[in-house]
Amino acid sequence: MNQSGAEFMQRHIGTNPVDSAKMLNNATTIALNNKLDKKDTASLSNRINQKMNKGELTSIDLKQSLGFLPFRVDYGAFFDTSKQTTNIHTATAVKWRDTSSNSILYLSNNTNMEHSRISVIQEGIYFVQYSIQVSNLQIANDELSVWIRRNGSAYANSLRQYQTGADRKSVV
Protein backbone atom coordinates (compact mmCIF):
# COMPACT_ATOMS: atom_id res chain seq x y z
CA MET A 1 0.00 0.00 0.00
CA ASN A 2 2.54 2.52 -1.21
CA GLN A 3 1.13 6.00 -1.84
CA SER A 4 2.66 9.21 -3.12
CA GLY A 5 2.69 12.36 -1.01
CA ALA A 6 -0.12 13.85 -3.09
CA GLU A 7 -2.29 10.75 -2.65
CA PHE A 8 -1.62 10.78 1.11
CA MET A 9 -2.58 14.48 1.35
CA GLN A 10 -5.77 13.90 -0.70
CA ARG A 11 -6.83 10.91 1.35
CA HIS A 12 -6.02 12.14 4.89
CA ILE A 13 -6.15 15.93 4.78
CA GLY A 14 -8.51 16.81 1.97
CA THR A 15 -8.33 18.87 -1.19
CA ASN A 16 -7.65 22.25 0.48
CA PRO A 17 -5.29 21.71 3.48
CA VAL A 18 -3.84 24.54 5.56
CA ASP A 19 -0.34 25.66 4.52
CA SER A 20 1.33 24.14 7.58
CA ALA A 21 0.02 20.70 6.59
CA LYS A 22 1.28 20.89 2.98
CA MET A 23 4.43 19.04 2.02
CA LEU A 24 7.34 21.19 0.90
CA ASN A 25 8.45 20.94 -2.71
CA ASN A 26 12.13 20.84 -3.61
CA ALA A 27 12.36 24.57 -4.49
CA THR A 28 10.78 25.56 -1.16
CA THR A 29 13.15 23.27 0.74
CA ILE A 30 16.18 24.82 -1.03
CA ALA A 31 14.90 28.36 -0.32
CA LEU A 32 14.33 27.49 3.34
CA ASN A 33 17.83 25.99 3.66
CA ASN A 34 19.33 29.11 2.05
CA LYS A 35 17.42 31.28 4.51
CA LEU A 36 18.87 29.31 7.42
CA ASP A 37 22.48 29.36 6.25
CA LYS A 38 25.27 30.45 8.62
CA LYS A 39 24.95 34.15 7.80
CA ASP A 40 21.28 34.20 8.68
CA THR A 41 21.85 32.09 11.80
CA ALA A 42 24.56 34.51 12.97
CA SER A 43 22.21 37.42 12.30
CA LEU A 44 19.44 35.70 14.26
CA SER A 45 21.86 35.04 17.12
CA ASN A 46 22.85 38.72 17.15
CA ARG A 47 19.20 39.81 17.21
CA ILE A 48 18.49 37.45 20.13
CA ASN A 49 21.54 38.78 22.02
CA GLN A 50 20.47 42.38 21.42
CA LYS A 51 16.96 41.68 22.71
CA MET A 52 18.34 39.92 25.80
CA ASN A 53 20.77 42.79 26.50
CA LYS A 54 17.93 45.32 26.25
CA GLY A 55 15.74 43.22 28.55
CA GLU A 56 13.14 42.63 25.82
CA LEU A 57 13.78 38.87 26.00
CA THR A 58 14.75 36.77 29.01
CA SER A 59 16.41 33.37 29.15
CA ILE A 60 13.10 32.01 30.47
CA ASP A 61 11.29 33.31 27.34
CA LEU A 62 13.97 31.77 25.16
CA LYS A 63 13.79 28.42 26.95
CA GLN A 64 9.98 28.35 26.70
CA SER A 65 9.99 29.07 22.98
CA LEU A 66 12.91 26.78 22.03
CA GLY A 67 12.43 24.10 24.66
CA PHE A 68 16.09 24.48 25.72
CA LEU A 69 18.72 27.17 26.32
CA PRO A 70 21.26 27.50 23.50
CA PHE A 71 23.94 28.65 25.95
CA ARG A 72 25.31 27.78 29.38
CA VAL A 73 24.07 29.58 32.46
CA ASP A 74 26.93 29.69 34.97
CA TYR A 75 26.34 31.39 38.31
CA GLY A 76 27.64 31.89 41.81
CA ALA A 77 26.21 33.56 44.92
CA PHE A 78 28.67 34.29 47.72
CA PHE A 79 28.31 36.16 51.02
CA ASP A 80 29.90 37.04 54.34
CA THR A 81 27.95 38.24 57.38
CA SER A 82 30.98 39.18 59.49
CA LYS A 83 32.01 42.77 60.18
CA GLN A 84 34.87 43.82 57.91
CA THR A 85 36.80 47.01 58.62
CA THR A 86 39.33 49.00 56.66
CA ASN A 87 41.66 51.94 57.19
CA ILE A 88 41.24 55.24 55.42
CA HIS A 89 42.99 55.52 52.03
CA THR A 90 43.66 51.76 52.02
CA ALA A 91 42.45 49.38 49.35
CA THR A 92 40.88 46.41 51.11
CA ALA A 93 39.50 43.32 49.43
CA VAL A 94 35.98 42.27 50.37
CA LYS A 95 36.07 38.80 51.89
CA TRP A 96 33.54 36.13 50.99
CA ARG A 97 33.13 33.45 53.62
CA ASP A 98 30.27 31.31 52.33
CA THR A 99 28.70 30.07 49.12
CA SER A 100 24.91 29.93 48.87
CA SER A 101 24.82 28.46 45.34
CA ASN A 102 27.12 28.06 42.39
CA SER A 103 27.76 26.15 39.20
CA ILE A 104 31.35 26.58 37.98
CA LEU A 105 32.26 29.72 39.95
CA TYR A 106 34.06 29.27 43.25
CA LEU A 107 35.85 31.19 46.00
CA SER A 108 39.65 31.25 46.05
CA ASN A 109 42.33 32.88 48.20
CA ASN A 110 44.21 36.08 47.45
CA THR A 111 47.93 36.51 48.22
CA ASN A 112 47.05 37.09 51.92
CA MET A 113 45.26 33.71 51.97
CA GLU A 114 41.83 35.36 52.37
CA HIS A 115 38.72 34.28 50.45
CA SER A 116 38.37 37.44 48.39
CA ARG A 117 38.51 36.08 44.86
CA ILE A 118 35.67 34.69 42.84
CA SER A 119 37.19 32.37 40.26
CA VAL A 120 35.75 30.72 37.18
CA ILE A 121 36.61 27.43 35.53
CA GLN A 122 35.62 28.46 32.02
CA GLU A 123 36.50 31.79 30.44
CA GLY A 124 33.58 33.85 29.20
CA ILE A 125 31.52 36.94 29.85
CA TYR A 126 29.99 37.15 33.32
CA PHE A 127 27.48 39.55 34.84
CA VAL A 128 28.73 40.69 38.26
CA GLN A 129 26.38 42.21 40.82
CA TYR A 130 27.18 42.98 44.44
CA SER A 131 25.56 44.37 47.56
CA ILE A 132 27.56 45.76 50.49
CA GLN A 133 26.20 47.26 53.69
CA VAL A 134 28.40 50.08 54.98
CA SER A 135 28.40 52.08 58.19
CA ASN A 136 30.45 55.11 59.28
CA LEU A 137 30.08 56.23 62.89
CA GLN A 138 32.14 59.41 62.46
CA ILE A 139 30.47 62.80 62.17
CA ALA A 140 32.07 63.70 58.85
CA ASN A 141 30.84 62.24 55.61
CA ASP A 142 33.31 60.04 53.79
CA GLU A 143 33.49 58.58 50.36
CA LEU A 144 33.58 54.85 49.74
CA SER A 145 35.03 53.69 46.43
CA VAL A 146 34.26 50.17 45.26
CA TRP A 147 35.71 48.63 42.14
CA ILE A 148 36.07 45.17 40.70
CA ARG A 149 39.55 43.80 40.15
CA ARG A 150 40.28 41.24 37.49
CA ASN A 151 43.52 39.28 37.63
CA GLY A 152 44.90 41.77 40.16
CA SER A 153 44.09 44.99 38.26
CA ALA A 154 41.13 47.34 38.54
CA TYR A 155 38.57 46.45 35.88
CA ALA A 156 37.84 49.36 33.52
CA ASN A 157 34.68 51.36 34.28
CA SER A 158 33.79 49.31 37.38
CA LEU A 159 34.44 52.08 39.93
CA ARG A 160 31.37 53.10 41.98
CA GLN A 161 31.58 55.78 44.67
CA TYR A 162 29.23 56.18 47.64
CA GLN A 163 28.91 58.71 50.47
CA THR A 164 28.91 57.53 54.09
CA GLY A 165 28.58 59.36 57.39
CA ALA A 166 27.23 59.22 60.93
CA ASP A 167 23.68 59.93 59.75
CA ARG A 168 23.79 57.39 56.91
CA LYS A 169 23.57 53.64 56.76
CA SER A 170 23.75 52.43 53.24
CA VAL A 171 23.35 49.32 51.22
CA VAL A 172 25.33 49.66 47.99
Q: Which residues of 19-40 are buried (b: 16+ CB within 10 A; e: fewer)?
A: eeeeeeeeeeeeeeeeeeeeee
| Alpha-carbon span 3 to 11, nearest angstrom | 10
Q: What is the pLDDT of residues 27-65, one digit of tens each?
A: 766 766 666 555 556 677 777 778 877 888 777 777 777
pLDDT at 52: 79
- Residue 113 pairs in a beta bridge with none
Amino acid at position 164, single letter: T
Nearest CA among 128, 112, 104, 117 for reference residue 152: 117
Backbone angles phi, psi at 61, to 5 degrees: -60, -45
Alpha helical stretches, state H, 36-151: 38-54, 59-66
Q: What is the mean pLDDT of each run of 10 residues along the chain (172 residues)?
A: 55 54 64 61 73 79 74 82 85 87 84 86 82 78 86 87 70 55
Alpha-carbon distance 39 to 159, whole Å?
38
Predicted confidence at residue 48, as pLDDT, reads 78
pLDDT given for residue 167 in this prediction = 60
Domain boundaries, the chain: 5-66, 76-171
Query: How many Å apart are CA 82 and CA 38, to the nearest integer?
Result: 52
